[in-house]
């Protein structure tokens, strides 16, 4: 809380912590599934084979959506933390188990995480773009935010003029998902001093 000590990292003194908003994970259920029969036996599963080759299951608690493929692989999205994502995936698998399939829970991995925070001051995106051209992409005609591709750690940040920052991973090649939340925290530590430099005085 002391503003006088220059040694402490800026973000610690400001006490802003990025919040996780979404966690995407995949798991292998280890058996082939008959999507048609699954879709007919539960009310929270929809299956539209023409549009999408996967069945979509939605869970109320934790509020998540899972894509279930006939090969037995499942993608779970919408959870707010890693533990909740795991719990949700297990619940989805449990539903499938109750429908009569010999499911297992193999290779649960977190594929990507999305976090966001607010630095509470306006940011000059044009100047940031000018100085960090190598890392940033700012096209107001296409998207109102500046897309900053940080090299270390490998993460993509969406920086908006209002001071809100979004941290995410999965995008183009080289920027595959954020697997741990420490990456997000580290990225925030790195970007905060840069953003302060372009703060509106």
Torsion of CA 70, 76, 82, 88, to 10 degrees: -90
> Is residue 173 near another protein by the rule CB under 8 A?
no
Select the residue interacting with another protein from 67, 87, 166, 194 (CB under 8 A).
87
* Closest to another protein by CB, 5 or 137: 137
Distance CA 139, CA 91 (A): 42
Determine the size of the site formed for another protein (CB under 8 A): 57
106 in contact with another protein (CB under 8 A): yes
Beta bridge partners of 123: 199
The interface region with another protein, picked from 16-24, 66-74, 137-145, 183-191 by CB under 8 A, is 137-145
**Residue 87 three-state SS:** helix
Three-class secondary structure of residue 77 per DSSP = strand
If one counts every other C-beta atom within 10 angstroms of the C-beta of residue 72, the result is 18
Q: State the residues that interact with another protein by CB under 8 A.
A: 30, 36, 39-44, 47-50, 59, 61, 81, 83-84, 86-87, 90-91, 93-95, 97-99, 103-106, 108, 118, 121-126, 129-130, 133-134, 137-142, 144-145, 160-164, 200
């Amino acid at each position: 809380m002391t503003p006088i000590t220059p040694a402490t990292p800026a973000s610690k003194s400001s006490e802003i912590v990025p919040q996780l908003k979404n966690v995407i994970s995949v798991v292998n259920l280890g058996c082939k599934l008959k999507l048609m029969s699954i879709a007919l036996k539960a009310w929270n599963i929809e299956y539209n084979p023409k549009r999408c080759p996967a069945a979509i299951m939605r869970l109320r608690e934790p509020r998540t959506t899972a894509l279930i493929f006939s090969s037995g692989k499942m993608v779970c999205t919408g959870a707010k933390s890693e533990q909740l994502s795991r719990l949700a995936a297990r619940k989805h698998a449990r539903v499938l188990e109750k429908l009569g399939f010999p499911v297992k829970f193999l290779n649960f991995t977190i594929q990507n995480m999305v976090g966001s925070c607010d630095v509470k001051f306006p940011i000059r995106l044009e100047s940031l773009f000018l100085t960090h051209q190598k890392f940033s992409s700012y096209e107001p005609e296409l998207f109102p935010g500046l897309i900053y591709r940080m090299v270390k750690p490998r993460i993509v940040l969406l920086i908006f003029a209002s001071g809100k920052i979004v941290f995410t991973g999965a995008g183009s090649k080289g920027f595959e998902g954020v697997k741990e939340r420490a990456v997000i925290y580290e990225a925030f530590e790195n970007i905060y001093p840069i953003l302060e430099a372009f703060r509106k005085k």
